[in-house]
Structure 1
Amino acid sequence: MGTSASSSGAGTGAPFDPPWLDDAGAGIDSDYAEVPLSPGATPLDDGSSTEDGEDNQNPTTPPAGPAKAPPGRYQQARGALTGFVRSGSSSDLRRGVSSFVKKGMGGSSRAASRMRTSAIAASSLGGFLATARDGSDPSINTWVDSIKQRGLSAKETALEVVQKLIPTGGSVDEDSARHSMDHAIAHLYEVEPNADIFNLTDDQITNLMAYTVAFDVYNRVQLELGQVFEKLKYAPQLVQNRLGQVLDYVMVVVNRSMQKARAGGAPRAMREIANAALQDALTVFAES
């Protein structure tokens, strides 16, 4: 899985944050991103939290520092991931993703700022589905009733949800968010075949938000590193297996960060939880 197209990645000297970034999430209906989510169980402390320091900034605030990417920004990441494809070594995988975040995207804080649309997409999806479940918005109630009356399949319903939240898209970030939402809902159905998209529990919504962020991070790795996997002369089955391992690694880290962000004694806005989870996950990736 991934975005609809890959590229050779951003080159040396390109700005870390493109000029259109501030408007990248404008095409996402984020009206429900502030809906609160109940606290979850407190996860075990794995030492990866970012309680203090620069990496705990709000991802929507671009961090201070050089605005231009350094020479060979992705060279180490490509080399490590090439080694990972050959060997299947988890250390090569972690080293490649770490370099991607630290050097390729300018560190975890800048990466979180660059990927802010991921948090917007996750929190918008979570807030919308929580509102649909609770029946607290008449306009959404009417829309849900119309979907149910059409007798759509689970896959078709997922597409309708994504289309409602991102009706137009257009930017690379919004297209990635669209794919990530779609894949996240599909993954939820794989894990829980009997899940009712309009009657999800808070735990299921948390998982769905984590899947959305994870798929977006995974998409970003493929998009920015270009065709590092496709150019290697290995059997397609091996390449797909390695890509699956990358996704599994990203999923584990993001899910843990999402659970950590949700833990606590009081409900928090989904946007706040998604921002914190994205920042924490990228910090874990950078330090791995």
Structure 2
Amino acid sequence: MAAPARFRDARTSVGRYARSGAAEQMRRALGHYVRSGYGGSATMGRRLNGTSRTAARLGAVLQPGTQPDLTAARDAAIAGGKNAQSVLDAIVEAIRPVDGTQDAEASRRAVRDALSDVLDRYPEADLLDLDDTQRKFVVERFVGLDVYNRFCLDLGQKLDEHAASASIAAARFAEVREYIAATVAAAFDKLWASGVTPASPDLARVTQGALRETFRVFEEYLE
């Protein structure tokens, strides 16, 4: 059972951040979000098992020459003239099919945004033939965006309500998005340096470790 008012402290800090834009309040909001909202870094890491499983599937599907699930994606891309939109649609469908839940929709959006972001960072990238650096970027970016999307589901309304204008709210959301993504990327950097790759058979477990490290960092903001 969820604790009563479990997001109360996080909402208070989010409201203060929305009004002031103070980075300290954003960090405190993330700390309370993990600690009281989800019961700590270890518990929140376990709650995001779906994120870890999707990250592992994303890493596997994007491996060149070993991804039978991308046959349909490749066929759809060719039928659509191999334009980026048709490739994005096909890969998202292969990795996270629609099931009508909020979690699935949030994950689908995170997959799509991560693939779009890799094209922004590497304009010459071929989504059906990414190199190792590009695959690492997509995996860590997806995880960061999926955490951000969950944050928005839980606390986004509070941020919207307390921002002085729509443009300020958008700027605040963008700052939280990049802050979470950067923290997740830093956790993955340690794992990539240890020899882990997106092709690792235990990528789901590895992703769990990156999530726990990210949430531990957030909790430390309260100390």
Q: Same fold (TM over 0.5)?
A: yes
* Contact 1:176/1:216 (8 A) holds in 2: yes
Q: Pick from 8, 16, 22: which aligns with 1:89?
A: 22
Q: Pick from 117, 120, 136: which aligns with 1:190?
A: 120
Counterpart for residue 143 of structure 2: 213
Higher relative contact order (CA 8 A, sep 6+): 1
Q: Pick from 129, 136, 143: which aligns with 2:72?
A: 143
* Contact 2:88/2:115 (8 A) holds in 1: yes
More helix by share: 2
Q: Which amino acid aligns with 2:121?
A: V
Q: Deviations over 1:18-67 (max 9, x none)?
A: xxxxxxxxxxxxxxxxxxxxxxxxxxxxxxxxxxxxxxxxxxxxxxxxxx
Q: Deviations over 1:6-27 (max 9, x none)?
A: xxxxxxxxx2xxxxxxxxxxxx
Q: Which amino acid aligns with 1:250?
A: I
Counterpart for residue 77 of structure 1: 10
* Contact 1:209/1:274 (8 A) holds in 2: no
Question: In the TM superposition, what is the alpha-carbon distance from 1:145 to its structure 2 partner?
Answer: 4.3
Name the TM-score, length of structure 2 as normaliser.
Answer: 0.89
Distance 1:144 1:85, change over 3 A: closer
Counterpart for residue 241 of structure 1: 171
Question: In the TM superposition, what is the alpha-carbon distance from 1:77 to its structure 2 partner?
Answer: 0.8
SS at structure 2 position matched to 1:194: coil
Q: 1: distance between equivalents of 2:84 and 2:95?
A: 17
Q: Deviations over 1:108-145 (max 9, x none)?
A: 11111111111111111111001xx1x135x4464354
Q: Pick from 113, 129, 133: which aligns with 2:46?
A: 113
Counterpart for residue 190 of structure 2: 260
Which consecutive unaligned segments of at least 5 residues does structure 1 have? 1-14, 16-67
Which consecutive unaligned segments of at least 5 residues does structure 2 have? none
**Matches for 1:1-288 after TM superposition, within 5 Å:** 15=1, 68-69=2-3, 71-130=4-63, 133=64, 135-137=65-67, 139-140=68-69, 142-150=71-79, 151-232=81-162, 234-265=164-195, 268-269=200-201, 270-288=203-221
Give percent identity, aligned residues only.
27
Aligned residues: 217
* Contact 2:35/2:41 (8 A) holds in 1: yes
Q: 2: distance between equivalents of 1:277 and 1:180?
A: 17
Name the TM-score, length of structure 1 as normaliser.
Answer: 0.70
